[in-house]
Amino acid sequence: MVKDLFERIQDNKGPLGKWASQAEGYYVFPKLEGELGPRMQFHGKNILNWSLNDYLGLANHPEVRQADTDAAIQFGAAYPMGARMMSGHTTYHEQLENELAEFVMKESAYLLNFGYQGMVSIIDALVTKNDIIVYDVDSHACIIDGVRLHMGKRFTYKHNDLESMEKNLQRATKMAEETGGGILFITEGVFGMRGQQGKLKEIAELKKKYNFRLLVDDAHGFGTLGKTGAGAGEEQGVQDQIDVYFSTFAKSMANIGAFVAADKTVIDYLKYNLRSQMFAKALPMIQTIGSLKRLELLRKSSAIKDKLWENVNALQNGLREKGFNIGDTNTCITPVYLEGSIPEAMVMVNDLRENYGIFLSIVVYPVIPKGIILLRMIPTASHTLEDINETLTAFEAIREKLTNGTYKEIAERTTVDVS
């Protein structure tokens, strides 16, 4: 008997979907309204927002807003029509690619419509079934999904663990000798959940012992790390050892789109083999011209990055001084680790939003181990020291309620009202 395909969907909504009736509209798919920035509206209340990825505060920069507006007036939202290979190629796309390549110190670059699909397609294009992939177990979902397309062998190493990296490179080397293929090593410049930089310097050293090519997803490092903002590779002094550099515009550039940069030979190959770009409409002119302005400000306005790090240091130092565990983050991403159950976490977040006016991301099992609550904050150049002090005061209050059992008691006797 053939089952109805949708029967499984009705019976099992997935690990997140099963919470939809309780969480949707509040804990997931929340509506943040009003002008984009640190202060927004949530359920009719003013909130202090720590969940923006607008690291450099460019989303509302007057020159950026004007560039976006001018591009929209001149070209509309549709131009150019068609894929780049067919009818969607423009001088502006070429200009942005050339400037991005120069900025990240690579020979060539290629624009991507979206970071997620771009990374999936890059991995798919770079390897054949004879090649071996070695990647960090904590890699972003776009890397994991790209690896899933790979029809050959893949090995995961323990997160940022040098011994595990080398062990799996040895396994990959032995396998590649049998298949006649090569090795693609994938890591992140910054791991977005815990805020640790990938160990690019140490990985580059491994190139002296093993023959592999290095692909780095630097979505959170681009614009925030390094003397010029070129990312984690520049920060660690090994940008030249990154064979394929990838970043999205969705973080520091406050825009839609992404890019990949490498030697011209590699980029020329990707241009003709990236299925996600070959068969997709070109990046619209609004995003393309808007990104040119954002990149100009990123290159010329060091004060923006300085302000970002002033806020990052104030927030992270303040949390440490008050005894909070923020792990070993060495980037802008600021995780706060607390002990508690999922019901306690829900009560806590409700309290933060309703009574303290603070909105942030919460991460619980199965993303992190049971009994741990991770509150993830993204400080930006737009936040103020007053925002930080307000948050530190609120965090002391919620920690007290968590440790004295207040949240546990509420969770046991009632369901949090998220209506």
DSSP string, 349-370: HHHHHHHS-EE-EEE-TTTS-T
Of residues 258, 251, 215, the one with CA closest to residue 331: 251
Q: Count of CB atoms within 10 A of residue 324's CB?
A: 19
* CATH tag, 62-300: 3.40.640.10
Query: pTM (2 decimals)?
Result: 0.93
Q: Looking up tokens 């949708």, which residue turns up?
A: 6
The span from the CA of 404 to the CA of 188, in Å, is 38
What is the reported pLDDT for 411?
A: 87
Residue span(s) of the chain under CATH 3.90.1150.10 come to: 14-49+302-413
DSSP symbol at 28: B
Of residues 35, 13, 34, the one with CA closest to residue 24: 13
23 versus 101: which is more confidently predicted?
101
Q: In this structure, what token pair is assigned to residue 107?
A: 């020979």
Q: For the segment 232-290, what is each residue's pLDDT rounded down to a tens digit?
A: 999 999 999 999 999 999 999 999 999 999 999 999 999 999 999 999 999 999 999 99
Residue span(s) of the chain under CATH 3.40.640.10 come to: 62-300
CATH architecture of the domain formed by 14-49+302-413: Alpha-Beta Complex (3.90)
Which residues are within 8 A (CB) of 210 and not within 5 positions of it... i.e. 6 or more apart? 166, 169, 170, 172, 173, 183
* Three-state DSSP state, 214: strand
35 versus 234: which is more confidently predicted?
234
DSSP symbol at 281: P
Is 104's pLDDT higher than 50? yes
Confidence at 12, pLDDT banded by 50, 70, 90: confident
